[in-house]
Amino acid sequence: MESVARKISDKQKKTAVVDVRPGDTVRVHQKIREGGKERIQIFEGLVIKASRKNSLSSSFTVRRIASGVGVEKSFLIHSPNILKVEIVRRSKVRRNYLTYMRELTGKSARLMGVDFDKEKVNAIHDEAAEAEEEKIHEEKLKDYDPEAAKAEKEAEKAEAEAATAEKPETEAQKIEDQPKERAEAKEPAEPQNKEK
């Protein structure tokens, strides 16, 4: 007999998810809401931890180097905000939690790759997530107005031209004013380190 909690959690689970393992390089498509707008952000990095595989709260932690700084992000696999997880590369590791990767940089942070069938591993079709992603793309296309974008670009261009047109005149004036200031100074400057 199945428990009530398990029945409820099974209803919340996604029907098809990618088998993410530590050592995989993944590309996570995450839905982000900013105010009233929605967009899809892609976070690509190395999976350093995967936990609670068969649970509703199964999660994985992805690490990447951004501008020389290590950034880690944890994702819940069955979250409705995670639209898609693609496995880009699979590496050979013997641990579940790759904490030692935090100290490594450059060539020493490389892992030995393993051959795998990329299409077969990533061939998971979650109809609900795909429909959600398509809806976001359609909304973006509907909101996009080419004339407004053109007008905005022209305004930015005019503003940049106005800013660049002002600067050379002021720089030229500064250069012209410098010899006059030196000629007007009749007395030599007093030394600052005077002995008393």
**pLDDT tens column, 99-112:** 888 888 788 888 88
Does the pLDDT of residue 126 top 70, yes or no? no
Work out the average pLDDT over 63-71: 86
Q: Give the DSSP letter of residue 1.
A: -
pTM: 0.58
Average pLDDT score, the chain: 78
Q: What span, in angstroms and rounded, lies between the C-alpha atoms of 36 and 38?
A: 7
Q: What span, in angstroms and rounded, lies between the C-alpha atoms of 136 and 38?
A: 7
116's CB contacts (< 8 A; 6+ apart) are 87, 90
Q: Which domains are seen in the chain, by residue range? A: 4-128 (2.30.30.790)
**pLDDT of res. 44:** 92
**pLDDT of res. 12:** 74
Does the pLDDT of residue 139 top 60, yes or no? yes
Does the pLDDT of residue 127 top 80, yes or no? no
**pLDDT of res. 174:** 64
Q: What span, in angstroms and rounded, lies between the C-alpha atoms of 11 and 36?
A: 28
CA distance to 4, 57, 76, 100, per residue, from 53 (Å): 20, 8, 11, 22
Percentage of the chain lying above the pLDDT 70 cut? 80
Give the side-chain half-sphere CA count within 13 A for 18: 30
Q: What is the pLDDT of residues 2-57, one digit of tens each?
A: 788 877 777 777 777 778 888 888 999 988 888 888 888 899 999 998 888 777 78
Work out the average pLDDT over 159-173: 67
**pLDDT of res. 169:** 52
